[in-house]
Chains A and B, each alone.
Chain A
Amino acid sequence: MARVWIQGGRVLDPGTGHDGPADVLLADGRVVEVAVGLEAPDADRVDATGFWVVPGFIDLHTHLREPGHEYKEDIASGGRAAVAGGFSAVACMANTDPVNDDPAVTGFILDRARQDSPARVYPVAAATRGLEGRVMTEMVALREAGAVAFSDDGQTVMDSGVQRRVLEYSTLVGRPVIVHAEDRGLVGAGVMNEGPTATRLGLPGNPAAAETLCVARDLALAEFSGAHLHVAHVSTAGAVGLIRDARCRGVHVTAEATPHHLTLTEEAALGFDTNTKMAPPLRSETDVAACRQGLADGTLDAIATDHAPHAVHEKEVEFTAAPPGVLGLETAAAVVLALVRDGVLSPLQLVAALSTNPAKILGLEAGRLVRGAPGDVTILDPDCTWTYDPAKGYSKSRNSPWAGQCLQGQVVATLVAGRLVYHRDRGVLVP
């Protein structure tokens, strides 16, 4: 395999705190050298002048829809969308058909990924069989088959007794349990945040309390079980506060927020566009501010997209009937760069949220740009403005709230295991 020489960029490595000009040399799938003024005339040169060079992004939360819903997305298209968005790795959720609650499905996903996906794929297996919230899955077997975490995402385990056992048992495999925290009873028929916008629109509301109630329960359960609880897509000020307090008490909790929950409020739904319908829903300005603050002070560790493709015909229905969820892989970098421009995060903090911390949470050897690290690198142009057209993207679906918008910040290139798999001038370079 050819060596790759990334020249002239600004290297940001949260692990070492390095933020400055440096060249990066990759060989045999790994980082060989990070230093100023490297010379490697025999290597393939990637010009990174004026760009950031960072460890490849890792998405803790993606829906690849395969097996079962390939019309929305599959591992091949999802993998391409991932690298086009600067993600060298994604963790894919288990709400497929069949559900990934069996090592056979886990194995299938990994096989598919090996064949078709330019990005690394790490399956998240279900926490309960069929996502029904009743019987635990065989976590040990699933772990051995390649699962990196467990989650009923899409669903919430409503029976506290079951959730307790799930968390306790997870300590056996030492993998995090990722929770989609929404109390079903409080959510009710709610399709957007319960608040002045829902009142104005006459749509049933889903109160912030649905999230905080569930997070409070799971934190209490995590506390006495000693499990690693990871809270998915935090959207409320209440949840951020609870997580902060729990951390202080020493609970092993980590948490993520999505690009949309960090930048959009419930008012985005004013035109009834179903591409502003997500679960959990977009919330108030106070909630958005709290999530941003949470990222800044480390209460929230990571940014994860919750990339949730849905077909056009599924979203082009009345608001209450449309499935929640939006695309995220191809726009995440541009959207969250705004946090740096707005002074919420430093560039190193942003990179940590997108790469270093997700790697730690999932126990992956990644997220670092030092000698010996895996050759997963993302090159980012923080200034370039471009208009996002989902029809021209790699995802099979189009459901994005940023469709047609002008975004600032673009992925220049993505390298996985030392190979250039995406360049914005050339597209995805098929494995």
Chain B
Amino acid sequence: MMGRGLLGIENLAREDIELILETAEHMKEVGTRDVKKVPTLRGRTLINLFFEPSTRTRTSFEIAGKRLSADVVNFSPASSSLSKAESILDTAKTLDAMDPDAVVIRHKVAGVPKRIADQLGAPVINAGDGAHEHPTQALLDMLTVLEQKEHVDGLTVTIIGDIAHSRVARSNIHGFRKMGAEVRVAGPPTMIPAEVEALGVKAYGSLREALEGADVVMALRIQQERLADATFPSVREYAATFGLDRAKLRFAKDDAIVMHPGPVNRGVELAADLADHRPSVILDQVRNGVALRMAVLYLLAGRRRTVAEDREK
């Protein structure tokens, strides 16, 4: 698994997920110290290659890298190869020539981190590729659930929103299923992708049914672009049918927790009071993000060639 990097949850084994989560638990402790820095990745170079802007995720990776004493470099190239006439192959070769120890890539099109990873010696961590996967988000979501529920096996997880365009949904579907949870998706039919059952989930057109007996309720962000391409008629209608508030939450279990990858559109996918108070664990998700990313970097970065190989070079 982790030889090549972390491109997605789909191809991770359950043991790999457990190793990452266990390692992240230990990294959480580092975040409680006064000196929140360990020398583990000293002298290593981590490159953040964000074709799609993202302050949150990039900052989270940056802090994670720095807490491990790595040198972190941020690149934000123009978002499309077309506008820059630099092919993915060129980008990969340029990066490889700089000999980084890990590369974190975010792109608005699915598949780019994998194509670059195929050409790079260094491990690649996918920080989000189009609607495909966002593995560190799903892992930190699982870490947060473990914190609250102590186990994932046997839980019911309901994901609500624009599943079709959501990498967070896909990665969480793979992750929670591998860890033994039952996963449901809910949203307007125009936002449920074709044959989503092939991913091992059940799709619900009724929010109420989707929530019944749920232990974890995850609301996804609604994007304005979807309004533009007519996937749903108005924010008002979405909020009324699939937006989550305390009243609707009552259909879920009494001790259900509420999650969201952020940033929250208050009043759309989550009512304001739900977003800012228990049972929402949104801030825990963010906090766990750094520890989780430290764990991933620890496990992946600094994969050095042996002295013997170096001599050969």
In the assembled complex, the Cα of A202 lies from the Cα of B194 at a distance in Å of: 11
Question: A194 within 8 Å of B by Cβ?
Answer: yes
How near does chain A come to B264, taking the closest CB pair, in angstroms?
22
* Min distance, Cβ A317 to any Cβ of chain B, angstroms: 4
- The reply to whether the CB of B111 lies closer than 8 angstroms to some CB of chain A is yes
Contact between chains at A316 and B110 (CB < 8 Å): no
Instruction: Please report the number of residue pairs spanning A and B whose Cβ atoms sit closer than 8 angstroms.
Output: 76
A317 and B114 in contact, given A194-B194, A195-B195, A207-B194 (Cβ under 8 angstroms): no
The reply to whether A202 and B130 form a contact with Cβ atoms under 8 Å apart is: yes
Q: How far is the CB of A275 from chain B (nearest CB, A)?
A: 12
Tell me the B83-98 residues at the A interface (CB within 8 Å).
Answer: 85, 87-90
Interface stretch, picked from A22-30, A52-60, A318-326, A419-427, is A318-326
Find residues 106-135 in chain B having any chain A CB closer than 8 Å to their own CB.
107, 109-112, 114-115, 129-133
Taken together as a complex, chains A and B put the C-alpha atoms of A310 and B133 apart, in Å, by: 29
Does B193 lie at the interface of the complex (its beta carbon under 8 Å from any beta carbon of A)? yes
Whether the pair A199, B195 counts as a contact (CB closer than 8 A) is yes
Whether B109 pairs with A196 at a CB distance below 8 angstroms is no
Pick from B80, B87, B132, B229: contact of A316, CB under 8 Å: B87
Is there a chain A Cβ closer than 8 Å to B196's Cβ? yes
Tell which of A202, A203, A318 touches B88, judged by Cβ atoms closer than 8 Å.
A318
A321 and B111 in contact (CB under 8 A), knowing A200-B198, A203-B131? Answer: no
Q: Using Cβ atoms and an 8 Å threshold, which residues of chain B touch A312?
A: 87
Inter-chain CA distance A320–B165, complex, in Å, is 14
Chain A residues near B88 (CB-CB < 8 A): 316-318
Q: Are A202 and B198 in contact (CB under 8 A)?
A: no
**Across-interface contacts of B132 in A (CB, < 8 A):** 201-203
CB atoms of B89 and A321 under 8 A apart: no
A201 lies within 8 A of B82 (CB): no
Which among A199, A313, A321 is the interface contact of B198 at CB below 8 angstroms? A199
Query: Interface code A320-344, partner B: CB below 8 Å = 1, 0 otherwise?
Result: 1100000000000000000000000
Our pick among A198, A313, A317, A318 for the contact of B194 (Cβ within 8 Å) is A198
Tell me, rounded to whole Å, the shortest Cβ–Cβ distance linking B225 to chain A: 11
The answer to whether A271 and B198 touch across the interface, beta carbons within 8 angstroms, is no
Cβ-based interface call for B81 (8 A) = yes
CB-CB contacts below 8 Å: A190-246 with B: 194-196, 198-203, 205, 207
Residue of A nearest to B111 (CB): A272
Q: CB of B170 within 8 A of chain A? A: yes
Which residue in A199, A272, A316, A318 is a CB contact (below 8 Å) of B196? A199
B167 at the interface (CB under 8 A from A): yes
Cβ-closest chain A residue relative to B115 = A272
B87 and A202 contacting across the interface, CB-CB below 8 Å: no
Closest A residue by C-beta to B51: A318
Question: Which residues in chain B, 148-190, are within 8 Å of chain A measured between CB atoms?
Answer: 164-165, 167, 170
Interface mask (A290-324 → B, CB under 8 Å = 1, otherwise 0): 00000000000000000000001100111111000
For A200, the chain B residues whose CB sits under 8 A away are: 10, 170, 198-199
A318 and B109 CA atoms in complex are apart in Å by 6
In angstroms, Cα B89 to Cα A312, docked, is 10
Q: Which residue of A lies closest to B193 (CB)?
A: A199
Q: Distance (Å) between the CB of A369 and the closest chain B CB?
A: 46
**B81 in complex: contacting residue of A198, A271, A318, CB < 8 Å:** A318
The answer to whether B111 touches A319, judged by C-beta atoms less than 8 angstroms apart, is: yes
Q: Which of B10, B85, B89, B110 contacts A203 (CB 8 A)?
A: B110
Residues of B within 8 A of A272 (CB): 110-112, 114-115
Question: What is the CA–CA distance of A272 and B116 in the complex, to the nearest angstrom?
Answer: 11
Name B87's closest neighbour in chain A (CB-CB). Answer: A316
- Residues in chain A near residue B165, CB distance under 8 A: 202
* Contact A201 B110, beta carbon cutoff 8 Å: yes
Least Cβ distance of A98 to chain B in Å?
A: 23
Q: In the bound complex, what is the Cα–Cα distance between A195 and B198 (angstroms)? A: 9
Residue of A195, A200, A318, A320 with highest tally of chain B CB at under 10 A: A318
Residue in A199, A201, A205, A207 whose CB lies within 8 Å of B111: A201
Interface string of A168-203 (1 = CB under 8 A from B): 000000000000000000001000001110111111
Whether the pair B87, A319 counts as a contact (CB closer than 8 A) is: no
Inside 8 A of B198's CB, which chain A residues have their CB? 196, 199-200
**Could you write out 27 A-B pairs with CB less than 8 Å apart?**
A196-B195, A199-B195, A199-B196, A199-B198, A199-B199, A200-B199, A201-B110, A201-B111, A202-B167, A203-B110, A203-B131, A207-B194, A271-B114, A272-B111, A312-B87, A313-B85, A313-B87, A316-B87, A316-B88, A316-B90, A317-B81, A318-B81, A318-B115, A320-B109, A321-B80, A321-B81, A321-B109
B residues in contact (CB < 8 Å) with A? 10, 80-82, 85, 87-90, 107, 109-112, 114-115, 129-133, 164-165, 167, 170, 193-196, 198-199, 229
Beyond A201-B111, A202-B165, A271-B114, 20 additional contacts (C-beta under 8 Å) are A195-B194, A195-B195, A199-B196, A199-B198, A200-B198, A202-B130, A203-B130, A203-B131, A205-B193, A205-B194, A272-B112, A272-B115, A313-B87, A316-B87, A316-B88, A318-B88, A318-B111, A319-B109, A320-B109, A321-B109
Nearest first, the 6 closest Cβ-Cβ pairs linking A and B are A272-B111, A202-B131, A202-B132, A196-B198, A318-B109, A316-B87
